[in-house]
Every structure is written in C-alpha cells, then in structure tokens.
Chains A and B, each alone.
Chain A
C-alpha cells in the first residue's frame, strides 16, 4: 500500500540563488494515514522548512525546491507530486487536504478579522457553503475543539482570546475541511505546560476521531514520546535518524540523537534532584535572603478621571527564605506572578506590603547583594556597547574606577563562564545565544553578589546549550556559595538545579518544600496538575486530559483582601495550602 505521504530526496534552498544556499539536503520519509510522525531538531535544523516544503508554503518565504519528490495520495486516490505541482492545484490541496498549525497562535490569526470569518471562509471556499451554513459549521468546529460559548466567540477578534484558546481556534481552522494530513509546526512551544498538555491531548484525540496523518514538529523530544508513532531527527538540514518511536528513544543509532537525548532535561518525578545542600547543616548566619509577606498590587484605573477602581493582585503574601549555596526554584505558569515577585526582590517594582531582608555579603562589601540574569540575553545586553563597557557598568554604577584590577576581574570572570579571552572588545551580536547568556552571568557576578535571581534564565536556549549553562550555574554556585532564586515554568529544568521548590499559582505560593518532596509527593492539586502535564521520554503513549479551565482573574475591587487558605504541613520542611473539596486555590 502506498503511504499517504512519501517524501524522497527533498532539497530546498533559499534566496536569489537557492543552489548556493541550500538548507535541506535529501530528506526522505513516509507517513501512513492515521500515523503520527514527529520531526525533532534544534533551531536551524531545517525541521520547519521540511514541513513548509510539503505544502509548498516555502515558496512564499523565498525558498525553492531544488530536487526530490513529495508524493501525496489525494482523497480520490490519485497520487500527485507536490514538488512539481502548479500553484492553482496547490490551492485546492492546502486547507482542504493538508491542514497546518503554527507556533505563534497570537500572530497566526489575522488581527482585523473575527474568528468566525476566518473559520467560515474555509467552509465557503472548499465546500461551497452558504453564509449561514458556514456559520453553523464554524460554530460546530469551535465546539469540537472544546471552546465554550462557541456562538459568541465567533464574533470575537483574535486579541480577545488567550494564547491557548487561539491555538484551539487554529486547530479548528486546520481541521475544518477534514484534511488527510495535518502539519503542526511547534504548536505548543509558545504555551504554558498545562495548556501544552491540553493542546496535545486535543490534537491526538481529534486525530483518532478523523484518522488524519499528523506531522508534529518540535524541539522537545520528550514531548513527542507521549504520542508519536515514528520519529525523525534532523540536524543542519539532514535527517540523521528515523524510525519507530521506541527504537529511536531506547536504542539511538546516531551520535547526535544520543547527544540530544542526553541533553534534554528529563523530568523524573524528583528522582534526580540535587543533594549537595543540606538545610539542617546550615545555621542562621548563612541565611542570604528572607522574604516575608511580600505583596505586590497594581492599580486598575478606569473612567474619565482615571480613578482607581481596583487592584491587580499580582503577588499576594509570599514568604520564604534562602540560604547560601541553596537554590529555590519558583515554579509557575505565565501570569502566575512569579516574575513580579522576582522583580520586587530586585527592587524593580515597589512591594505594596511585606519585607525583604538580604544579608550583606562579607566579601568585597558589595552594596548590591542581589543581581539578576533574565530570560532573553538579546534584550538584556545593550547591543551598542562592547563587552568591556557592559562589564564595566556595574563597577561604574558603584563608583569604582576601571583600572587594571577591574580589567583583570573582567578577564577572569569571562574565563570562568567559558568565554574566549579576546571577547572584551566585541559586541553582543557577535556571540551566540548561549554565549550571550554566559556574558550576562559574568556581568551579574561583577559585583560579587550573594544572591542571583535567574528569571527563566535558560528558557530561551536550545536544549544542548541549556544543559551546559545549567552545569555552569551549578559550578558557580559551589565556587562562590551563591544563593539562587530560579524562576521558571520548566519542571525538568527546576528538577536539575533546585534544592527547594515553591509553586506559585495566581499570585500565592500554594506549595513549598524540598525539591524531592514536592516533585515526588505533590500535595496541592495544582502542583499535581503541573507535574502530570510535564512531557517526558519515559511517558510513552499516555493520555493527556483535556481540561478547559481558565486561570482566575487577578483583578479585584478596591479594598479587597484575600483570604489565604491555611498552610498544611506535610512532613519536614514541606507544606501546602489547604484546599476546599479539590478546588484549585
């Protein structure tokens, strides 16, 4: 039997002379109907280009197919080679027989058209439906992807929906014409873990119902373990390895696949937490940071005179302490208030209430004991300054002279974070993403701080780079006795680096304790939900529950004081907020 899709020796190039700028080299793969193929690779591996070449969207991005064939079995049984198809023929295949979902749901929908218009047009173009028929069909499509209140949502513009909702709309659009093949290009990368689990659950469920072939492109090899039948690993435009899921994961043949599998932080329910720090051995002298009842609220203003009508309760009564050489992982999803809490500790936003005590460091008498490394190394380095100027800034700010000693310190720190010594006169854009993040780390250490706030510091890096930066952070912590406040949404990363973990939901800590305890025996239902959503290589072919709950609004009227649920202790140094009949928070 001929497979649904058969790609042979596909070569794609970009630019005015595509032969000279070839990004895809002889990629071949097959996909049966109803099967899921995962294409895995790091950024620049050509995995997206492969996907876009299949439905020839690559033509619009300045690419050209240089050779090979893409044989696709159409609904009527005829086989057509998409690599040589005319644009007019392709228009009949795209949408109707091949659907596609993209990475960024926020920008993938036309901002000036309503959701309804964008779904209806598929029905009208491909099925020749009338306006009212199309409307009913669109409504049904939204219901299929579990969007509540579908009738009303059809009249919404994209910016009125959350990212997760929009991705569901995208799925509805892609599946509207009942395609034989669905291509999903990193559909969950921009989303939170729990939302990711929902989207994946939805996709696999829809696929089971419709028997669609699915190509799922991702950088996260752990994610596809849950549902793919076959895996294709790509690197620099070459398919280095492919085969059945279990074969590739358990018995990788190619060195790069092995490297990738090793580098991916794998979540193992708290079995691989660090054990190099024991709280009971530390005394109060070693306490680097104590936060007590931290509360941050932002005013909500409305009306003609912009009077305050309420508050956004971003952070509500957060308390914890942090010892030298210890890492506290702050876990939470977007909008949970974890970054706001970090910013308050960094003195970037004014807390409404609560106290933050930092112990002065003994060494060098630095006056700024808390320093930070942010998520995006591109944005946190001024692109117009050289490395010398960047590293000198903290010293200048503290009134130090930039003398031989200062230069010596810069040199040794650069060396310490693993950057070449000739970096000093270079500009940030001359470095790779991982190197830039190392630069940020070096800069944050210039003032010999005692506490480092790492706000999603490794989230924007490719997995293999991520692993190296994490190793560096652990080494630096041991060497300088640094205390880390590691803010992240990534369970697997936090398991690698944290000694203790605090889970934040809707502005409050719902569970806090030793990393091993929290991850292995989560007590709060939200923590459990988070953990169950984490993809992992060890979780094969599992069910992802489809849950449509939304995060509660944090906007409250003036004078509203939250009633925080009481703490419940669960053994030594592990407590969580009590819950009323399983309801979250």
Chain B
C-alpha cells in the first residue's frame, strides 16, 4: 500500500479521536453555558426559561446523544450555532480564517526565504565567521518567544522611531492590499523570525550530515562541479527534514498564533478560540478546534505527499 494512502486511512480515526477529546474536554469546564452566555442577565431567567434555553441548545440530553447529534451535524457541514456570535460556527470560523491563513503564509515565506539560503550557506562554510554568526543568531532567535519578539518590535518602532504600527480595525487583503500588508508585516515578521531560526538550524545540520555521506563522496569522485554537488545531490536530501519542520510549523500557525494575534490586536482564529474557551461557547470551541485539527492533519498529509515526491524510498515502498 502506498504510504500517503495509508496516512489517509488513519486520518478519519484521528479526527474522530480529536472530536471525542474536544467534546469531553469542553464538557468538563466548570459552570454552564447558559450562565456564561448571558452573563449577569442569566440571574433574571425563570427556571422554565432556563430549561427552554437548555433544550434549544440541546444541553438537556445526555452526552452521548449530544455527541451523536453534533457529529452527524459535522459530517453534513453543520458545526452548530455559536452562542457568543449568534451565528453558525462555520461562518464565524470562515470569516476569521483568511487572516490566519494569510499570516501563516507570510510567515512561512519569510522563514523559508531567509532560513533556507542562510542554512545552506552556513553549512557550506562550516566553522567560518559567517557560520558562527548564523549560529549565534539562530540560537538567539530560537530562544526568544514570539510575543517577546513582537513586543520588542513594537517597542523599537514606537520608542525608537516614533512610528506606531498600524493597528485599529483590520482591513482584509481583498479590500486594500497595501493597508492590509502594512498591518500584517509586523506580526508576520514576528512569527517568521523564530520559524526562520528553526529552518536555518535544521537545514544547516541536515546539509552538514549529508555532505559527509558516501554518495556525496561518489558525486565528487565523478568530477561533478561543486555547485552541482550541492544543488543536485545534497539539496534534495536536505530538503526532507525542512519539509517536515515547515509542515508542522505551518500547521501550528494555521491554528492561530494566539499570543501574536493578541499583541497586534488581530482578529484571527487563535483569538476566536481563546475567547470561545473563556466564554464557554461550546459549539464554537468544538467547531474551531476540530477545524484546526483538520487543517493540521491536511498539512501533514501534504507533507507526506511532498516526501513521496522527494524521496523514492517512500514513493515506491509498497509495504
């Protein structure tokens, strides 16, 4: 059986596990949804009204039945109704997702754009001053939390240059691309730096390992020019771990960068989930977490496909 196909078959199993986990987890949250939804007003409800509301949201049935209803809904694309937004969960997610997606793509472009060349460059000049500099930068980059990078960026810009980053209401890319990019560039940089540090680190060490491999020695013994050895023989092998890393990181970014969205006041998916958890918006938490896990697994699947394209050992391994 082909490897990606095998992964595809595990997919629904893990998705089911995720949904069970989320469903149970969210129901262990103390307090009930009605109180959380209406806040102080809930004190004004008569018991009968409360019951009616509970019945409306399906909260009066036992967990298994609730789960079943929810699951059948999910399969039909109905993730339920968000209590805080008063809108279908799917629509809430889809309005906030483009921002998250854009942020993730921008960060990845930054990370790979900086990370790959820097990593390969450092590996080729191992132990030179440039390599050392790259390694120090990587170490610092990896040790600085995203939100600290964000804070420092804002700090430098506002205190050092007196420019306040463009915050305020978020403008989608489709309405005003320039203004949108102006808003996105700082958070993307913030997320991109740590990501880039990881890419540099992985690509450097992979490249170093591969340059010691027997087949690189073979390539050299064939009189293949240095550049071709690097680009045609070493790079395809070195890309494999970079693809893994990028896939995982990208998957996480699609789950919303809660902290960075918080700092830059961006209404992304991460904040939706954070608010939903704090507000006990059951349907929204379930829906968005499921959505995020789904994305994550789709990305993983794509990574596997990329593997297969890069590495014939996986592509042709039929067992």
Contacts and interface: CB of A to CB of B under 8 A. Distances in A.
Direct contact of A and B (CB under 8 A): yes
Contact of A110 (B215, B226, B228, B316): B215
B233 interface: yes
A114 to B, nearest CB: 7
Residue picked from B9, B211, B213, most chain A C-beta under 10 Å:
B213
A108 B236 CA distance: 16
Contacts of A87: 226
A61 B236 CA distance: 21
A90 B214 CA distance: 19
A60 to B, nearest CB: 6
A157 B316 contact: yes
Contacts of A107: 213-215
B218 A173 contact: yes
B312 A157 contact: yes
A94 B9 contact: no
Interface in A90-146: 90-96, 98-100, 102, 104, 107-114, 121-122, 125-126
A100 B225 contact: no
A295 B221 CA distance: 46
B223 A303 contact: no
B91 interface: no
A24 interface: no
Contacts of B32: none
A160 interface: yes
A109 B225 contact: no
A406 interface: no
Contacts of A126: 223
Interface string B235-268: 0110000000000000000000000000000000
Which of A92, A98, A102, A170 gathers the greatest number of chain B CB atoms within 10 Å?
A102
B221 A92 contact: no
Given A112-B311, A303-B1, A95 B214 contact: no
A368 B216 CA distance: 48
Nearest to B210: A110
B220 interface: yes
Contact of A125 (B216, B225, B313): B225
Contact of B224 (A108, A121, A159, A303): A121
Nearest to B315: A157
Contacts of B211: 60
Nearest to A105: B214
Interface string A53-83: 0010100110000000000000000000000
Interface residues of B, number: 28
A104 B236 CA distance: 21
B310 interface: yes
Interface in A136-190: 157, 159-160, 170, 173-174, 177
B40 interface: no
Nearest to B213: A107
B223 A113 contact: no
Contacts of B316: 157, 159-160
Most chain B C-beta atoms within 10 Å of own C-beta, residue among A104, A113, A177, A304: A113
B220 A60 contact: yes
A157 B233 CA distance: 14
A302 interface: yes
Contact of A111 (B221, B223, B312): B312
B215 A111 contact: yes
A113 B228 CA distance: 13
A518 to B, nearest CB: 38
B219 interface: yes
A169 to B, nearest CB: 11
B169 interface: no
Most chain A beta-carbon neighbours within 10 Å: one of B215, B216, B228, B319:
B215
Given A57-B217, A102-B217, A302 B222 contact: no
A110 B233 contact: yes
A60 B222 contact: no
Contacts of A113: 232-233, 236
Contacts of A177: 223
A55 B236 CA distance: 26
Contacts of B313: 111-112, 157, 159
A112 B224 contact: no
A312 to B, nearest CB: 12
B24 to A, nearest CB: 30
26 contacts: A55-B221, A57-B217, A57-B221, A60-B220, A61-B217, A94-B223, A95-B223, A95-B224, A100-B221, A102-B217, A104-B214, A107-B215, A108-B214, A108-B215, A109-B215, A111-B215, A111-B311, A113-B233, A121-B222, A125-B222, A159-B312, A159-B316, A170-B218, A174-B221, A177-B223, A302-B319
Given A122-B223, A160-B316, 5 more contacts: A60-B216, A91-B226, A92-B223, A102-B221, A114-B312
Interface of B: 1, 9, 211, 213-226, 228, 232-233, 236-237, 310-313, 316, 319
